[in-house]
Amino acid sequence: MINLSDLRGFALRFLRPLDPFLLAVALAIVAVATLMLESASPERLEAHLFNLAIALAVMWFMAVQPPQRLHSFALPLYVVGLVLLICVAMFGDISKGARRWLNLGFMRIQPSELMKIAMPLMLAWYFQKREGMLKVRDFLVAAVLLALPATLILKQPDLGTTLLVLSSGLFVIFFAGLSWKLIVPVGIIGVAGIVAIVSFESQICAPGVEWPGLHEYQKHRVCTLLDPASDPLGKGFHTIQSTIAVGSGGMLGKGWREGTQTHLDFLPERHTDFILAVISEEFGLAGVIIILILYCLLIGRGLMIALNAATLFGRLLAGAISMIFFTYAFVNMGMVAGMLPVVGVPLPMVSYGGTALVTLCLGIGILMSVQQHRRRK
Amino acid sequence: MEIKTPEQEIQRFRARVVVAGLFVLCGFGLILARYAYLQVVRYDYYSTRAEDNRISLLPVAPNRGLIVDRNGVVLARNYSAYTLEITPSKVQNLEDTIDQLADIIEIQPRDRRRFRKLLDESKNFESLPIRSRLSDEEVARFVARRYRFPGVDIKARLFRQYPLGEVAAHAVGYIGRINQREMVEINDDEELAANYRGTEHIGKTGLEQSYEKELHGTSGFEQVEVDASGRAIRALARTAPVPGNDLQLTLDIGLQRVAEQAFGERRGSLVAIEPSTGGVLAFVSTPRFDPNLFVDGISTENWDALNNSPDHPMINRAMNGAYPPGSTFKPFMALAALETGKRAATTAFHDPGFFVFGNNTFRDDKVGGHGMVDMVKSIVVSCDTYYYTLANEMGIDLISDFMGKLGFGSRTGIDISGESIGVLPSQAWKKRRFKTPAQQKWYAGETISIGIGQGYNAYTPLQLAHATATLANGGVMFKPHIVKYVVDARTGQRRVIEPTPVADLGFKPENLEVIRKGLIGVNLYGTGARAFAGAKYTSGGKTGTAQVFSLRGAKYIEHQVHARLRDHALYIAYAPAEKPTIALAVLVENGGFGATAAAPIARQVMDYYLAGIKPAGAVQDDAAAETEGTGD
Domain range enclosing B531: 253-578+591-611
pLDDT of residue B268: 95
In a domain, A255, yes or no: yes
The CATH number of residue B257's host domain is 3.40.710.10
Cβ partners under 8 Å of residue B7, min gap 6: none
In a domain, B51, yes or no: no
In a domain, A265, yes or no: yes
Q: Where are the alpha helices (DSSP H) in B122-224?
A: 136-144, 169-172, 180-188, 190-195, 206-210, 212-216
pLDDT of residue B135: 86
> Does the bond joining A157 to the residue before it have cis omega, within 30 degrees of 0?
yes
Residue A219 or residue A360, greater confidence: A360
The candidate with the shortest Cα–Cα distance to B16, out of A120, A177, A310, is A177
If asked whether residues B549 and B605 sit together in one domain, one would say yes
What value does the mean pLDDT of chain A take? Answer: 88
If asked whether residues B504 and B465 sit together in one domain, one would say yes
- 3-state helix, strand and coil shares in percent for chain A, rounded to the nearest 5: 70, 5, 25
If asked whether residues B265 and B216 sit together in one domain, one would say no
Of the residues B4, B30, B31, B233, the best mutation for testing chain A's interface (the one with the most A CB atoms within 10 Å of its CB) is B31
CB–CB of A307 and B46 under 8 A? no
Chain A CB contacts of B45 below 8 Å: 247
User: In this structure, are residues A101 and A109 in contact, taking their beta carbons and an 8 Å threshold?
Assistant: yes
In a domain, A93, yes or no: no
Count CB-CB contacts under 10 A for residue A147. 13
What is the sign of the dihedral through the CA atoms of A341, A343, A344 and A349? Answer: negative
Distance of alpha carbon B322 from its chain centroid, rounded? 17
What amino acid positions of B are annotated as catalytic residues? 327
CB–CB of B24 and A299 under 8 A? yes
pLDDT of residue B89: 75
Distance (Å, rounded) from C-alpha A34 to C-alpha A48? 8
If asked whether residues B106 and B233 sit together in one domain, one would say yes
In a domain, B472, yes or no: yes
In a domain, A130, yes or no: no
The CATH number of residue B164's host domain is 3.90.1310.10
If asked whether residues B488 and B528 sit together in one domain, one would say yes
Residue A196 or residue B257, greater confidence: B257
Amino acid found at B597: A
User: In this structure, are residues B604 and B272 in contact, taking their beta carbons and an 8 Å threshold?
Assistant: no
If asked whether residues B143 and B241 sit together in one domain, one would say yes
Helix then strand count (H, E) for chain A reads 15, 3
In a domain, B19, yes or no: no
Q: Does the pLDDT of residue A232 top 90, yes or no?
A: no
Q: How many domains does chain B have?
A: 2
Q: What ipTM did this prediction achieve?
A: 0.93
- Over residues B432-446, the pLDDT tens digits come to 989 998 889 999 889
Nearest C-alpha of chain A: how many angstroms from B7? 11
If asked whether residues B241 and B386 sit together in one domain, one would say no
All residue ranges of chain B with pLDDT < 70 are: 1-4, 122-126, 549-561, 617-632
Mean pLDDT across A40-48: 93
Beta-bridge partners for B269: B285, B587
Dihedral pair phi/psi, residue B466, rounded to 5°? -60, -45
Domain range enclosing A357: 20-38+45-64+232-377
**Euclidean distance between the first and the last CA atom of chain A, given in angstroms as a whole number:** 41
Q: How many domains does chain A have?
A: 1
Chain A CB contacts of B51 below 8 Å: 248, 260
Nearest C-alpha of chain A: how many angstroms from B224? 12
In a domain, B13, yes or no: no
If asked whether residues B273 and B145 sit together in one domain, one would say no
Read off the pLDDT band of A199 (50, 70, 90).
confident
What is the sign of the dihedral through the CA atoms of A112, A115, A116 and A117? Answer: positive
Read off the pLDDT band of A225 (50, 70, 90).
low
pLDDT of residue A278: 96
Distance (Å, rounded) from C-alpha A376 to C-alpha A235? 53
- Over residues B281-302, the pLDDT tens digits come to 999 999 999 999 988 778 788 8
pLDDT of residue B557: 62
If asked whether residues B385 and B482 sit together in one domain, one would say yes
In a domain, B49, yes or no: no
In a domain, A350, yes or no: yes
Nearest C-alpha of chain A: how many angstroms from B36? 7
- Does B1 contact A at CB distance below 8 Å? yes
Of the residues A131, A133, A248, A252, the best mutation for testing chain B's interface (the one with the most B CB atoms within 10 Å of its CB) is A248
Dihedral pair phi/psi, residue B423, rounded to 5°? -130, 115
The candidate with the shortest Cα–Cα distance to B269, out of B291, B286, B251, is B286
CB pairs under 8 A between A and B: 133
In a domain, B212, yes or no: yes
If asked whether residues B84 and B153 sit together in one domain, one would say yes
Q: Which of A179, A245, A285 is closest, CB to CB, to B36?
A: A285
If asked whether residues B389 and B518 sit together in one domain, one would say yes
Q: Where are the alpha helices (DSSP H) in B434-526?
A: 437-440, 444-450, 461-472, 509-525
CB–CB of B34 and A250 under 8 A? no
In a domain, B131, yes or no: yes
Chain B CB contacts of A319 below 8 Å: 13, 16-17, 20
Distance (Å, rounded) from C-alpha A116 to C-alpha A118? 6
The candidate with the shortest Cα–Cα distance to A334, out of B202, B296, B30, B303, is B30
Please tell me which residue of chain B has the smallest CA distance to A267.
B228
Q: Percent of chain A at pLDDT above 90?
A: 55
The candidate with the shortest Cα–Cα distance to B263, out of B281, B288, B290, B286, is B286
Distance (Å, rounded) from C-alpha B280 to C-alpha B252? 9
In a domain, B46, yes or no: no
Touching A: B residues 54-83, CB under 8 Å: 54
- Does B229 contact A at CB distance below 8 Å? yes
- Over residues A54-101, the pLDDT tens digits come to 999 999 999 999 999 999 999 999 999 999 999 888 888 777 667 777
Q: Which of A292, A296, A306 is closest, CB to CB, to B17?
A: A306
Amino acid found at B273: I
Q: Does the pLDDT of residue A25 top 90, yes or no?
A: yes
- Does B366 contact A at CB distance below 8 Å? no
Q: Does the pLDDT of residue A271 top 60, yes or no?
A: yes
If asked whether residues B268 and B398 sit together in one domain, one would say yes
Q: Percent of chain A at pLDDT above 70?
A: 94
Mean pLDDT across A5-15: 82
Chain A CB contacts of B52 below 8 Å: none
Angle between the N-to-C axes of helices A136-154 and A67-91, in degrees from 0 to 180, rounded to the nearest 10: 40
pLDDT of residue B360: 87
pLDDT of residue B238: 87
Distance (Å, rounded) from C-alpha B73 to C-alpha B224? 40
Of the residues A244, A263, A376, the best mutation for testing chain B's interface (the one with the most B CB atoms within 10 Å of its CB) is A244
In a domain, A7, yes or no: no
Q: Which of B31, B40, B229 is closest, CB to CB, to A334?
A: B31
- Does B231 contact A at CB distance below 8 Å? no
Q: Which of B31, B46, B227 is closest, CB to CB, to A243?
A: B46
- Does B236 contact A at CB distance below 8 Å? no
